[in-house]
């Protein structure tokens, strides 16, 4: 995949773990976009989603939401649909009716469906994510971005479905890969059917004014905002 370039946007992703955020200070720190945890599983809503969404919007930061997938709770198509419904409903509470953020909504896929052989796990997790994506796009009209780690893709047969190939590769990719970690390359390798990232989470220990403690930092291509 590509290296980060001078044209890339710099952004953060946050959840309730960051506590109260001074979003106007974040804006002044030249942060160009923010992803905020919205939901997890079928019923959990991040307790700071509403306040974070409204704070980021008030500071004029292009803002998106992400859903932390839990296929381990229900690895079926219906389980994926129930999680997508919860994500859609909660975004409306944070962004307004029929609004889904300024930038791509995101499915955060980093939990395997169950402890079983890798072939079966790959089959289930890819079909689960495809069901979530299909329901989400059909009911919002918005393209869904996939967040996952390079290690997670490798653990699941390079996200290559045994019968149908790279069934998620049409989704914009937000890849987590930390070049400072031992053994990692300087920038993400081609993986899972993707040759280009839309966003790249490159560290979990960043520092940004307005946020206490560590925060995830990301690069993104300008199209992250232009295409939404």
Q: Please state the domain count of the chain.
A: 1
Residue 98 forms part of a structural domain: yes
Residue 41 forms part of a structural domain: yes
Task: Show which residues are catalytic.
Answer: 13, 108, 110
Residue 111 forms part of a structural domain: yes
Task: List pLDDT tens digits, range 189-207.
Answer: 999 999 999 999 999 999 9
Residue 115 forms part of a structural domain: yes
Residue 2 forms part of a structural domain: no
Q: β-strands 33-40, 106-108: how paired?
A: unpaired
Does residue 221 contact residue 6 with C-beta atoms inside 8 Å?
A: no
Mean pLDDT of the chain: 94
Residue 45 forms part of a structural domain: yes
Residue 170 forms part of a structural domain: yes
Q: Which DSSP symbol is given to 181?
A: S
Give the H/E segment covering residue 19: none
Q: What is the pLDDT of residue 118?
A: 56
**pLDDT at residue 227 above 60?**
no
Does residue 67 contact residue 107 with C-beta atoms inside 8 Å?
A: yes
Does residue 1 contact residue 196 with C-beta atoms inside 8 Å?
A: yes
Q: How many CA atoms lie within 13 A of 206 on its CB side?
A: 23
Residue 139 CB coordination number (10 Å): 12
Query: Which CATH number do you get for residue 76?
Result: 3.20.20.80
Torsion of CA 119, 179, 16, 67, to 10 degrees: -40
Residue 3 forms part of a structural domain: no
Name the token pair of 143. Answer: 């393209």
**pLDDT at residue 226 above 90?**
no
**Is the pTM value of this prediction over 0.85?**
yes
User: What does each C-alpha distance from 45 to 42, 75, 97, 100, 150 come to in angstroms?
Assistant: 9, 20, 17, 16, 26
Task: List pLDDT tens digits, range 102-116.
Answer: 999 999 999 987 665
Which residue range forms the structural domain that includes residue 25?
A: 9-226
The dihedral region occupied by 60, where left means phi > 0, alpha psi between -120 and 50, and beta the remainder, is left
């Amino acid at each position: 995949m590509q290296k980060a370039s001078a044209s890339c946007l710099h952004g953060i992703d946050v959840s309730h773990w960051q506590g109260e955020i001074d979003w106007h200070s974040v804006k002044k720190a030249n942060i160009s976009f923010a992803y905020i945890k919205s939901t997890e599983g079928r019923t959990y809503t991040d307790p700071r989603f509403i306040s974070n969404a409204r704070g980021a919007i008030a500071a004029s930061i292009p803002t998106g939401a992400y859903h932390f997938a839990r296929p381990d709770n229900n690895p079926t198509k219906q389980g994926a649909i129930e999680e997508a419904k919860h994500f859609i409903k909660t975004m409306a509470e944070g962004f307004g009716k029929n609004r889904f953020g300024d930038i791509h909504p995101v499915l955060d896929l980093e939990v395997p469906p169950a402890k079983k052989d890798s072939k079966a796990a790959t089959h289930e997790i890819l079909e689960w994510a495809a069901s979530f994506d299909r329901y989400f796009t059909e009911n919002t009209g918005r393209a869904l971005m996939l967040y996952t780690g390079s290690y997670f893709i490798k653990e699941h047969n390079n996200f290559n479905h045994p019968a149908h190939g790279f069934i998620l590769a049409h989704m914009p990719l937000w890849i987590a890969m930390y070049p400072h970690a031992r053994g990692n390359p300087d920038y993400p390798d081609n993986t899972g059917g993707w040759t280009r990232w839309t966003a790249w989470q490159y560290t979990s220990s960043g520092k940004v004014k307005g946020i206490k403690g560590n925060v995830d930092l990301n690069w993104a291509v300008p199209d992250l905002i232009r295409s939404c």
